[in-house]
């Protein structure tokens, strides 16, 4: 990428590591539906978990490198790239709105010694953020949490949670340790793809939290949520981009090697059309993601651009998974192959951190705001 030469050196280094250390394990975690424990430890040792965390809390504070590393991880192991997303949600909540004591946990996150979870969605729906029902009632200087969360990645293994709950009319965010009384983890929810992600519901029954578990100001939870989304949607998009790169590479390799009618199949225009479309989706997604990241780095408003990057890259990933599977004929339908795994995993990228419809709502709200004011 022009202007990002140092990032490309970083990418080479991370790609070498991912190929050697992570790729051989990826299909094992998918097949056995296990949390990628060894790979998580390896990326912690390599310093990848610390990339988005500020230096004063044991990190390197380099968001661009975090995005590149996520791309490279997703290129070989989608289950692990989900961990980059969850970590991003957790770390950015604390970086942007946490107090000094809460931020100390970032050191453990950077070392990989805690497992985070981010609990927003409820059984009644994730898109209607204002409809949140979990309650945090204040009693004798403590918050008492009651309610239920749904589809929470890492719920069975997490050590710490960010929990969103209603404090009166408004919503607030809390940092909680997943221990003690008042918290019940539901049975594992088996999903179509992302089989190495452990997902469950969580029920809170009079779970008590200290007053200083509150993140930021009481009633400011939706601001916390949307501030975090601007960054973490880009981490998710980088994961989608990494998977698209893999689909393209697998498709190009296959169509070079595979012959039909004595010709390599990439001599056929229909295959070329697929490959060109895939390459363009990669370029467009990359431009959208790193443009939004640049806006964030320069302290500019980037909510619309982050939503665009997420909408485009996740939808592009789904159509490219179909393209890759078609190019590979029957070989694209063999269980446990990279194309098969990405085909199953792709849909999760257009659900997590807001559905594609939710992205369109966000984008249109900004278009309305900018209308007649010179931008777009």
Ligand X SMILES: Cc1cc2nc3c(=O)[nH]c(=O)nc-3n(C[C@H](O)[C@H](O)[C@H](O)COP(=O)(O)OP(=O)(O)OC[C@H]3O[C@@H](n4cnc5c(N)ncnc54)[C@H](O)[C@@H]3O)c2cc1C
Nearer to ligand X, 185 or 295 (CB): 185
**Which of 110, 199, 215, 321 touches ligand X by CB under 6 A?**
199
Distance of alpha carbon 17 from alpha carbon 323, whole angstroms = 28
In the region spanning residues 276 to 295, those forming contacts with ligand X, defined by CB under 6 A, are none
Q: Which residue is nearest to ligand X (CB)?
A: 126
Nearer to ligand X, 131 or 168 (CB): 131
Half-sphere exposure of 312 (CA within 13 A, CB side): 22
Nearer to ligand X, 277 or 356 (CB): 356
Half-sphere exposure of 314 (CA within 13 A, CB side): 26
**Which of 99, 127, 256, 260 touches ligand X by CB under 6 A?**
127
- Cβ neighbors of 68 (< 8 A, separation 6 or more) are 7, 10, 11, 14, 238
In the region spanning residues 151 to 180, those forming contacts with ligand X, defined by CB under 6 A, are 151-153
Nearer to ligand X, 265 or 304 (CB): 304
The residue range among 21-29, 32-40, 113-121, 259-267 that interacts with ligand X, by the rule CB under 6 A, is 113-121
Q: What is the DSSP letter of 33?
A: T
Whether 303 and 362 have beta carbons less than 8 Å apart is answered as yes
Nearer to ligand X, 142 or 203 (CB): 203
Distance of alpha carbon 157 from alpha carbon 145, whole angstroms = 20
- Residue (of 303, 135, 142) closest to 226 by Cα position: 303
Nearer to ligand X, 155 or 271 (CB): 155
Work out how close the CB of 118 gets to ligand X at its nearest, in angstroms, rounded to a whole number. Answer: 5
Residue 125: phi and psi, rounded to 5, are 140, 145
Nearer to ligand X, 62 or 230 (CB): 230
Nearer to ligand X, 126 or 338 (CB): 126
Measured over the CA atoms of residue 350, residue 197, residue 238 and residue 336, the dihedral's sign is negative
Burial class (CB in 10 A: 0-12, 13-18, 19+), 49: buried
Distance of alpha carbon 197 from alpha carbon 286, whole angstroms = 25
- Residue (of 32, 22, 5) closest to 242 by Cα position: 22
The residue range among 1-9, 28-36, 64-72, 120-128 that interacts with ligand X, by the rule CB under 6 A, is 120-128
**Which of 60, 191, 291, 337 touches ligand X by CB under 6 A?**
191
Work out how close the CB of 156 gets to ligand X at its nearest, in angstroms, rounded to a whole number. Answer: 12
Work out how close the CB of 299 gets to ligand X at its nearest, in angstroms, rounded to a whole number. Answer: 27
In the region spanning residues 62 to 101, those forming contacts with ligand X, defined by CB under 6 A, are 86
**Which of 125, 168, 329, 336 touches ligand X by CB under 6 A?**
125
Q: Dmax of the chain from CA atoms?
A: 80
**Which of 118, 204, 225, 312 touches ligand X by CB under 6 A?**
118
Per-residue binding letters, 28-67, with ligand X (x by CB under 6 A): ----------------------------------------
**Which of 119, 145, 325, 342 touches ligand X by CB under 6 A?**
119
15 conformational bin, left if phi > 0, alpha if psi -120 to 50, beta if neither: alpha
Beta strands per DSSP E along 38-122: 116-119
Distance of alpha carbon 15 from alpha carbon 340, whole angstroms = 21
**177 strand-pairing partners:** 160
Measured over the CA atoms of residue 330, residue 279, residue 228 and residue 126, the dihedral's sign is negative
In the region spanning residues 337 to 376, those forming contacts with ligand X, defined by CB under 6 A, are 348, 351-352, 354-355, 357-358, 361
Site size toward ligand X, by CB under 6 A: 23
Q: What is the DSSP letter of 18?
A: I
- Residue (of 94, 120, 97, 119) closest to 107 by Cα position: 94
**Which of 70, 83, 102, 121 touches ligand X by CB under 6 A?**
121
The residue range among 52-60, 98-106, 125-133, 255-263 that interacts with ligand X, by the rule CB under 6 A, is 125-133
Q: Where along the sequence are the contacts to ligand X (CB under 6 A)?
A: 86, 118-121, 125-128, 151-153, 191, 194, 199, 348, 351-352, 354-355, 357-358, 361
């Amino acid at each position: 990428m022009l202007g990002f030469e140092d990032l490309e050196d970083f990418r080479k280094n991370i790609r070498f590591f991912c190929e050697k250390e992570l790729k051989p394990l990826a299909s094992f975690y998918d097949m056995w539906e296990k949390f990628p424990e060894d790979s998580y430890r390896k990326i912690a040792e390599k310093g990848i978990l610390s990339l988005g965390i500020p230096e004063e809390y044991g990190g390197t504070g380099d968001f661009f490198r975090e995005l590149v590393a996520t791309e490279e991880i997703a290129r070989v192991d989608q289950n692990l790239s989900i961990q980059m997303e969850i970590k991003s949600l957790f770390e950015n909540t604390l970086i942007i709105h946490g107090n000094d004591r809460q931020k100390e946990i970032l050191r453990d996150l950077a070392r990989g010694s805690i497992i985070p979870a981010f609990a927003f969605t409820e059984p009644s729906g994730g898109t209607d953020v204002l409809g949140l029902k979990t309650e945090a009632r204040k009693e004798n200087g403590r918050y008492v949490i009651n309610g239920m969360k749904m589809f929470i990645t890492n719920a069975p293994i997490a050590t710490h949670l960010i929990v969103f709950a209603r404090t009166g009319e408004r919503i607030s965010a809390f940092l909680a340790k997943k221990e003690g009384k008042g918290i019940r983890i539901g049975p594992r929810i088996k999903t179509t793809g992302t089989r190495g992600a452990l997902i469950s519901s969580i029920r809170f029954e009079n779970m008590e939290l200290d007053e200083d578990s509150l993140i930021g100001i009481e009633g400011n939870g939706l601001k916390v949520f949307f501030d975090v989304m601007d960054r973490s949607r880009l981490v998710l998009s980088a994961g989608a981009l990494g998977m698209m790169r893999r689909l393209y590479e697998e498709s190009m390799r296959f169509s070079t090697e595979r012959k039909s009618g004595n010709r390599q199949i990439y001599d056929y225009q229909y295959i070329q059309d697929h490959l060109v479309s895939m390459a363009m989706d990669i370029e467009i997604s990359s431009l959208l993601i790193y443009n939004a990241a640049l806006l964030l780095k320069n302290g500019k408003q980037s909510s619309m651009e982050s939503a665009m990057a997420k909408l485009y890259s996740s939808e592009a990933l789904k159509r490219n998974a179909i393209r890759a599977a078609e190019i590979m004929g029957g070989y694209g339908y063999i269980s446990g192959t990279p194309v098969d795994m990405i085909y199953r995993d792709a849909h999760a990228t257009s659900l997590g951190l807001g559905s594609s419809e939710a992205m369109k709502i966000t984008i249109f709200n900004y278009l309305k705001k900018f209308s007649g004011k010179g931008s777009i």
